[in-house]
Homo-oligomer: A and B are copies of this chain.
Amino acid sequence: MDKEMNLIEQKAVFMAASNKLELCEKVLLGIPFDATTSFRPGTRLAPYRIREVSEGIEEYSLYQDKSLETLDFYDAGDIVLPFGNVNECLRRIEDVCKWFLNRGKKVFSIGGEHLVSWPLIKSYHEYYPDLVVVQLDAHADLREEYLGETLSHAAVMRRVVELLGENRLFQLGIRSCTRDELSYAEKNTQLYVDVLMNVIDEVKKKIQTRPVYFTLDVDVIDPAYAPGTGTPEAGGFSSREVLKLMQEMKSLNVVGFDVVEISPPYDTADITAILGAKIIREALLAY
C-alpha cells in the first residue's frame, strides 16, 4: 500500500458511495482541518457529520435527472491531520491530492476551513497549468497575512493568486473584505461585489474552456440558510440561488471541487450539514 493511503482513515461513508476505488473516476475526500480559524473553530467536524446526514436526502437529483446510484464514486474517508502543525497538515493534503490526481481521479473535497483549498489548488495547478479558480465566498480571503501568518484562511486566495498569476481567480458573492484586499483584487482578480447569478454568463465567457477549480465557501450563502459556519456574514444569498448557480456551471470544465467552512458546532438541526450533503451530491453528479 502506498504511504499516502496511511494518511487516510475511513470512519463513515457518504450515501451510495462505491468501495472500489479502481472503478471510480470521482473521489470524495474529507479534510478535517481548522487550525487557522480565527473566530469560531469547528469545521473539522464537517466531513463526518455531512456523511451522517447524507441519508436524509435522495440519491437522485431532480435538478439534473441523475442519481448517485448510477454514478461510480469512491469515498476515500478523511485525511489524518496532526493538529497544531499547520505545515505538516498542508503537506499531507497536497500529497494525498496528488496521489489521486496521479491515478486520474477527480477530487471532491469536504473541508475544513478555507485554507485547505491551498494545497488542493497547488496540486491541481501542477496538472492543469492554465487552471482558473472560481470562488464563491462572502469574504475575499486576499490578505497579505493574517495575525502574522501568510498561510491562513483569510489569506488563502492571495496565495492562490500568487501561484496562478493575474486574473485567473474569479470571486463571486463577495460582501466583506478590507480596503487593502479590495485594492489588491482590483489589480489581480476578477472580484464581483455582492452579486452571483447576474454575472455568471460574463464569468463563463471569460473562462471558456479552461480547466476550473471550483471552491465553494458555504458562507457565501446567508447564515439563515447556513448558520453552521465559523464566520457568518449577514446579507448573503439563498441556498436556492447557489444551487442554481451550480447548475449554470455545468457547462464549464470543472476539474476539481471543494466545499468548505461548514461548522457543525454552530449548526442548527443539521440544516447546514444537510445543505452540504446536497451540494456535494449536485457537484458529484454535475462535474
Residues on A lying within 8 angstroms of B by beta carbon are 10-13, 34-42, 44-45, 48-49, 51-52, 55-60, 62-63, 65, 67, 80-86, 88, 147-149, 151-152, 174-179, 182, 193-194, 222-225, 227-228, 231-236, 238-240, 243, 265-271, 274-275, 278
Contact = CB atoms under 8 A, between A and B. Distances in A.
A144 to B, nearest CB: 14
A56 B36 contact: no
Nearest to A15: B11
B152 A83 contact: yes
Contacts of A222: 224-225, 238-240
A88 to B, nearest CB: 7
Copies of this chain: 6
A194 B243 CA distance: 12
A228 B268 CA distance: 9
A267 B266 contact: no
B271 A232 contact: yes
Contacts of A194: 62-63
Contacts of A223: 225, 269, 271, 274-275
Given A62-B177, A222-B238, A238-B222, A38 B83 contact: yes
A52 B49 CA distance: 8
Given A48-B52, A83-B35, A266-B265, A234 B278 contact: yes
9 contacts: A11-B51, A58-B177, A58-B178, A83-B149, A84-B86, A222-B240, A224-B238, A234-B274, A235-B240
What are the 6 A-B residue pairs with the smallest beta carbon separation, nearest first? A36-B84, A41-B41, A266-B269, A82-B147, A12-B12, A234-B275
